[in-house]
Chains A and B, each alone.
Chain A
Amino acid sequence: MTQSLIGASVPRKDALEKVTGTARYVGDLSMPNMLHARILRSPFPHARIRSIDVSKARRLPGVKAVVTGRDFPNFIGLYLVDRNIFAVDKVRYIGDPVAGVAAVSPQVAEEALKLIEVEYEELPAVFDPFSAMAPDAPLIHENLHQYKLVPVYFPIPHTNVANHMKIRKGDVEEGFRLSDEIIEGTYHVPQMQHCQIEPHTAIAQVDATGKVTVWSSCQSPNAVRKLLAVAFDIPVGKVRVITPYVGGGFGGKAGVTLEGVLTAIAMKAGGRPVKLVYSREEVFRDTMVRQGLVAKIKTGFKKDGRLVAQQAELYWDAGAYCEYGVNIVRAAGYSSAGPYYIPYMKTDSYCIYTNNPAGGPFRGFGMGELHWALDQQMDRIAHHLSMDPVEVRLINAARDGTTTATGEVLKDIGLTKCINEAARQIGWGTPKNPLTGRGIACMVKAPAMPGNASSAAFIKINEDGSANLLITATEIGQGADTALAQIAAHELGLPVDKVTVSLPDTDYTPYEWQTVASRITYSAGNAVIAAARDARNQLITMAGEGLGIPADQLTITDGVVHAVNDPAKAIRVADLALGLNLPNGSARYGPVMGRGHFIPEGIEGLDPETGQGKKAVSHWTFGVQAAEVEVDPETGRVDVKKIAAVYDIGKVINPLLAAGQTEGGIVQGLSVALYEQLQLQRGRVMNPSFVDYKIATAADTPEMAIGFVETPLADGPYGARGFAEHTMVPTAPAIANAVYDAIGVRITDLPITPEKVLAALRSKGKGGE
């Protein structure tokens, strides 16, 4: 290993294919005899289905299958199995699938939907978490108490609360008594969408043996396989999920999405493949949205700026289904100290059913929403005490030896370095123009995953000295293929272009829990190291025998196994790929195949009543962003001039990709701060298209300064920590804090629109805050 590939800006392995348009996505796939599916959806936010008549649709020429909830009254879901594949007795949001059709063309399928007659009886509906929690609220899931669930979630039976996550760290009332000052704040976050460029798309086929094959634009092929197998009661091995390149995930293609309805339709389609491409409207409304949040935070602190106590009530508008969302609510609970040390804590994080579109994972997994509240609250404390916001954060920053909300003792934490560096990059404390403001926000995030979320990798060595890396991590644009190829090449002593990375096919590629939680470089990276070292050991063993040199005196460089002290004593990897050939014509060993796996050890459950425990998550990644903005007090417009971002990611595997990830996160964070919001009116998405759901454009991109700190993680590959989602989490609160610095008004409900800024300025002019 003359020159390390770890820390090298290796260009993306998929770059050429993607810039030339030859990369294939599910939408590009077409098959002989393929049918096209369309979904009939509920026009009501909450209604009982009295009857469904599909007879006319079935008779339409070209229609091959019509499916309703009566055909498959099955449930599907990841953590709290609350979702029917098609509505059975009730619909719970505008868009809930009621029936599906497969036909010879999309036009015929759509025509058939119009022939399906559904009789509904409208039910009272609820559209905000507080109405949903009221004692007399209509129940959205009457059978909540009977749903299957992973036993770390705590639904309140016969209510609309699907999960109540509690943190009780010390006696919070005592904490408030020990505080010099107390402030309270309420913060709002609306529902949002991920806005992947590629809509959700899949093809499903059920062959004569009953084997289900699904080609899906998904983040998590193994999760799709498992959830389909459970939902349809078929063995996992009879489901095969193939995932080509994915045009963006951001959490919106995690778990299972459209594969459920599509597989049900394919099961009735006589063995023909059936394709379903969601319209942009369906992507906006019928794939999981970022949950809404109302956060009420009460914080006690000392006059010197030290936090003492925090009481947090987090009311999540989880929408009609929470099969995945319950875990966001849990993650927000165990992360509710944010990146700070708070001795006394009480948190109640409620996952609340409403008749809004169903919530689910979104880049940040609750952290963007949580930090919108926590880091503005921190800013208010600083201003309340007339202290420097950077200073207050340095005083309270989590560090080695402090405890989290769950009582876990932290170590190897580099947050204060990030704060100082981000402040320096934004020019904190230097002179600035009038109407210009600077703000800072810190963040933390851990991979939210069960204790057994594992990764596996295979490596095959080919007779030309190249290697195939087989994994089931999905390439969703984040650069996983490149980073993992770097790791494999580094360990094997091969040039990185000799490593080909597979696309997932669950029949042939080894297990990967999910491509979520910013965990692939960390978890799959460890599996790849193990697989590469396994293959390397096989190569070195054979070479040692062939060369008559002890294995510990051999290494591999550029595809050649050689003596450490004498490069002339060497055998090419290519010549060892299929086994060791001996001079007498015989051979030993056989083809080289490395295998490796990884499971993060020691993640334990938490006490249900106190949320306390030894180790809730595998590890934490901290970071900081600082913003400089200019505000036009006449128009209310916020112009984000610059964002500085500094993260402690343990080890930068690929600086180019790490910077690219950060730039993308900043722009999405800015977009969330200023523009994004699903506009809901009595459960109806009023802006299900890019005409009126605005996202930041290239023209909105600010100047960016990006830096990294490297405090190694003990079980990270080369010390690397999970890093991706983190990049958008603190942008919005940093911008909000900068707006306050500029004009003295605080916007607590996202997005920060010009109209809200003007209204706040007017109210300030009248003496309000």
Chain B
Amino acid sequence: MFQPFQYLAPHTLAEACAFLRDNAGKAMAMAGGTDLLVRMHDRHWNPAYVVDIKKIPGLTGITVNGDGGITIGAATTLNAIARHPAITARYTVLAEAAHVVGSYQVRNRATIGGNICNASPAADTAASLLALEAMVSITGPDGERRVPLAEFFTGPGKTVLVPGELVTTIELPTLPAGSVSTYRKLMRTRAVDLSQVGLAVVVAGGAVRIALGAVAATPIRATGAEALLAGRSMPDLDIPAIAREVAAAASPISDLRASREYRLHMIEVMARRALTDLLAPKRQ
């Protein structure tokens, strides 16, 4: 049940940012509302004002840039991302991650900006964006700034955003031709669950980037494993050893969803399988 609140839908970014700054602590931004409204219903958050950002021009939509990179408006729904041809073809890791968040109905509402601003360590798109080295564009009362996703999260539920700031777009940098990627999600049921482990792997040119979700206070990169992979290719890679190194990057907890031990074990299994799938010579 909701506490009474006022709903506002500003038409400009300036208006939205100013209101959010002036009502810091009392106003919250809403995109899809799939996290916000649930917490309001449960009384965890009781904002006096809900500021809907979906009516602000430029915050919705997917643009393929001249260099092949992609800019995604923060209020773009996960279903729109999961089925976008350029994303499914070249940024598979993000399409796969967007596709496994919640249910189809949730993904019709939930947005990529909301998914990262909620800053759950288990956010599926966060790990994939981290592996893609995405950049986050932020607008606030004092203007714009760009932050690498790697610096965006500061803890569970915490980001670098200050009151009045909104994420406007997320940019996916261009990838070399022939890049491949995948997102693997460990969950209890086959659909509609939060991650026990999220694993994003991007093979871009000579580099392999690996990110993990749900196994640390924020989504993290497995840099040790990445170093073992750098500049090498099959059959010179000791995939099982690299998979162990991926697990070494994690510091999971035991909770209702899985034990720490099972998470560590599964990171290794998932990493080994994902790396083998992406790096092994394709069978004809």
Interface of chain B residues 14 through 35 with chain A (CB within 8 A): none
A694–B189 alpha-carbon span in the complex (Å): 7
Residue in A closest to B193 when the chains form the complex, CB atoms: A694
The answer, yes or no, to whether A700 is at the interface (CB within 8 Å) is yes
Minimal Cβ-Cβ distance residue in B for A755: B262
Give CA–CA (A697, B104) in the complex, Å.
12
With A and B bound together, what is the CA distance between A107 and B266 in angstroms? 45
Whether A686 pairs with B256 at a CB distance below 8 angstroms is: yes
Interface string of A257-283 (1 = CB under 8 A from B): 000000000000000000000010000
Sample (23) of A-B pairs whose CB atoms are under 8 Å apart:
A106-B1, A107-B1, A110-B1, A279-B1, A675-B188, A679-B256, A687-B256, A692-B256, A692-B257, A694-B188, A694-B189, A694-B193, A695-B189, A697-B189, A697-B192, A699-B191, A699-B192, A700-B189, A700-B190, A700-B191, A755-B258, A755-B259, A758-B265
For the complex, count residues of A whose C-beta is within 8 A of B.
22
Which residues from A are CB-within-8-Å of B265?
A: 758
Q: Which residues of A contact B194 (CB under 8 A)?
A: 691
A709 to B8, CA, bound (A): 62
Asked if B154 CB lies within 8 Å of chain A CBs, one says no
Any A CB within 8 A of the CB of B4: yes
Q: Which of B179-196 contact A (CB under 8 A)?
A: 188-194
**Given A699-B190, A699-B192, A755-B262, 7 other A-B residues pairs in contact with their CB atoms under 8 A:** A675-B189, A697-B189, A699-B191, A700-B190, A755-B258, A755-B259, A758-B262
- List B contacts of A635 (CB < 8 A): 266, 269
Whether B3 is near chain A, meaning CB under 8 Å from some CB there, is yes
Contact A697–B191 (Cβ < 8 Å): yes
Across the interface, name the chain A residue whose C-beta is closest to B191.
Answer: A699
Q: Any chain B CB within 8 A of the CB of A28?
A: no
Q: Give B100 Cβ to nearest chain A Cβ, in Å.
A: 11
For chain A, residues 438 to 468, give those with C-beta under 8 angstroms from any C-beta of chain B: none
Bound Cα distance A758, B258 (Å): 13
Q: Which chain B residues (231-284) contact chain A, with CB distance < 8 Å?
A: 256-259, 262, 265-266, 269
* Chain B residues positioned under 8 Å from A691 (CB to CB): 194
Which residues of chain A come closer than 8 Å to B4, judged between CB atoms? 107
**Bound form: Cα–Cα A279–B189 in Å:** 24
Bound-state Cα–Cα, A679 to B256, Å? 8
User: What residue in chain B is nearest A698 (Cβ atoms)?
Assistant: B191
* CB contact list, A215-240 vs B, under 8 A: none
- Of B189, B193, B269, the most chain A CB neighbours within 10 A belong to B189
Binary CB contact string for chain B from 106 to 118 against chain A (1 if under 8 A, 0 otherwise): 0000000000000
With both beta carbons as reference points, the residue of chain B lying nearest to A671 in the complex is identified as B189
Indicate if A609 sits at the interface (CB-CB under 8 A). Answer: no
Pairwise interchain contact B189-A696, C-beta atoms closer than 8 A: yes
Residue of B nearest to A110 (CB): B1
Interface residues of chain A, those whose CB is within 8 Å of chain B, are 106-107, 110, 279, 634-635, 675, 679, 686-687, 691-692, 694-700, 754-755, 758
Task: Tell me which residues across on chain A come within 8 A of B193, comparing CB atoms.
Answer: 694
Nearest CB on B from A139, distance (A): 32
* Distance in Å: Cβ of A676 to nearest Cβ of chain B: 10
Interface flags, B165-205, vs A, CB<8A=1, else 0: 00000000000000000000000111111100000000000
Q: CB-CB < 8 A to A698: which residues of B?
A: 191
Docked Cα-Cα span, A675 to B259, in Å, equals 15
Chain A residues whose C-beta falls within 8 Å of the C-beta of B256 in the assembled complex = 679, 686-687, 692
Q: In the docked arrangement, what's the CA distance between A106 and B4, Å?
A: 11
Which residues in B have their C-beta under 8 angstroms from that of A699? 189-192
Chain B residues with CB under 8 Å of A692's CB are 256-257
* A279 contacts across to B, CB distance below 8 A: 1
Q: How far is the CA of A635 from the CA of B273 in the complex (A)?
A: 11
Q: How far is the CB of A692 from chain B (nearest CB, A)?
A: 5
**Complex Cα distance A334/B194, Å?**
42
Q: For residue B189, which residues in chain A have a CB less than 8 angstroms away from its CB?
A: 675, 694-697, 699-700
B187 closest partner in A (C-beta) = A694
CA distance A675 to B256 in the complex (A): 12
Closest to B265 in A: A758
Q: How far is the CB of A755 from chain B (nearest CB, A)?
A: 5
Name the distance in Å between A275's Cβ and chain B's nearest Cβ.
13
| Least distance between A266 CB and chain B CB atoms (Å) | 20
List residues of chain B with CB within 8 A of the CB of A107. 1, 3-4
Minimum CB–CB distance from A695 to chain B (whole Å) comes to 8
> Closest chain A residue to B190 by CB distance?
A699
- Listed from nearest, the 8 A-B pairs whose CB atoms lie closest are A699-B190, A699-B191, A692-B256, A697-B191, A694-B188, A755-B262, A700-B190, A694-B189
**Minimum distance in angstroms from B124 CB to a CB of chain A:** 15
- Docked Cα-Cα span, A694 to B187, in Å, equals 10
Q: How far is the CA of A110 from the CA of B188 in the complex (A)?
A: 34
Give Cα A106 to B3, complex, Å: 10
Q: How far is the CB of A637 from chain B (nearest CB, A)?
A: 9
Which residues of B are found within 8 Å of A755, using beta-carbon distances?
Answer: 258-259, 262
Docked CA distance A679–B257 (Å): 11
**Closest B residue by C-beta to A281:** B42
Complex Cα–Cα for A279 and B188 (A): 24
Nearest A residue (CB) for B194? A691
Which residues of chain A come closer than 8 Å to B259, judged between CB atoms?
755
What residue of chain B has the Cβ atom nearest to residue A690's Cβ?
A: B192
- Chain A residue at minimum C-beta to C-beta distance from B103: A697
B93 to A: closest C-beta gap in Å: 21
Nearest chain B residue, comparing its CB with the CB of A700: B190
CA distance A453 to B190 in the complex (A): 42
**Docked CA distance A758–B189 (Å):** 17
Which residue of A is nearest B272, CB measured? A634
* Chain B CB within 10 Å, residue with most, of A635, A686, A695, A758: A635
Q: How far is the CA of A635 from the CA of B186 in the complex (A)?
A: 10
**Given the complex of chains A and B, what is the CA–CA distance between A692 and B1 in angstroms?**
20
Give the residues in chain A near B257, CB-CB below 8 Å: 692
Which residue of the partner chain, among B190, B258, B266, contacts A697 with CB atoms under 8 Å? Answer: B190
- Determine the distance from Cα of A692 to Cα of B196 in the docked complex, in whole angstroms: 11
Whole-angstrom distance between the Cβ of A678 and the nearest chain B Cβ:
11
CA distance in complex: A679, B188 (Å)? 15
Given the complex of chains A and B, what is the CA–CA distance between A691 and B265 in angstroms? Answer: 23
Question: A626 vs B193: C-alpha distance in the bound complex, in angstroms?
Answer: 28
A758 contacts across to B, CB distance below 8 A: 262, 265
- CA–CA, A13 and B194, complex, Å: 38
Instruction: State how many angstroms separate the Cβ of B92 from the closest Cβ of chain A.
Output: 20
Docked Cα-Cα span, A691 to B192, in Å, equals 9
B262 touches A754 (CB 8 A): yes
CB neighbours (8 Å) of B3 from chain A are: 107
Report the nearest A residue to B188, measured CB to CB.
Answer: A694
A694 proximity list for chain B (CB < 8 A): 188-189, 193
**A635 to B256, alpha carbons, bound, how many Å?**
18
CA A691 to CA B258, docked complex, whole Å: 13
Quote the shortest CB–CB distance from B254 to chain A (angstroms). Answer: 11
Q: Given the complex, which residues of B lie within 8 Å of A754, measured CB to CB?
A: 262
User: B192 — which chain A residues lie within 8 A by C-beta?
Assistant: 697, 699
A residues in contact with B188, CB < 8 Å = 675, 694
| Docked complex Cα distance between A383 and B4 (Å) | 63
Please give the distance in Å from B110's CB to the nearest CB on chain A: 15
Tell me the bound Cα distance from A691 to B194 in angstroms.
8
Residue of B nearest to A754 (CB): B262
Measured between alpha carbons, how far is A700 from B188 in the docked complex, in Å? Answer: 11
A326 CB to nearest B CB, Å: 31
> Closest chain A residue to B4 by CB distance?
A107
In the docked arrangement, what's the CA distance between A425 and B257, Å? 35
Contacts of A634 in B (CB 8 A): 269
- Complex CA distance for A686 and B262, rounded to whole angstroms: 20
> Which A residues are in CB contact (< 8 Å) with B262?
754-755, 758
**What distance in Å separates the Cβ of B198 from its nearest Cβ neighbour in chain A?**
15
CA distance A695 to B193 in the complex (A): 10
- Roughly how many angstroms separate A686 CA and B254 CA in the complex, as a whole number? 14
Enumerate chain A residues within 8 angstroms of B266, measured Cβ to Cβ: 635
In the complex, what distance in Å separates the CA atom of A635 from the CA atom of B272? 12
A693 to chain B, nearest CB (A): 9
Q: Chain B residue with minimal CB distance to A634?
A: B269
Q: How far is the CA of A279 from the CA of B38 in the complex (A)?
A: 13
| Min CB–CB distance B268 → chain A (angstroms) | 9
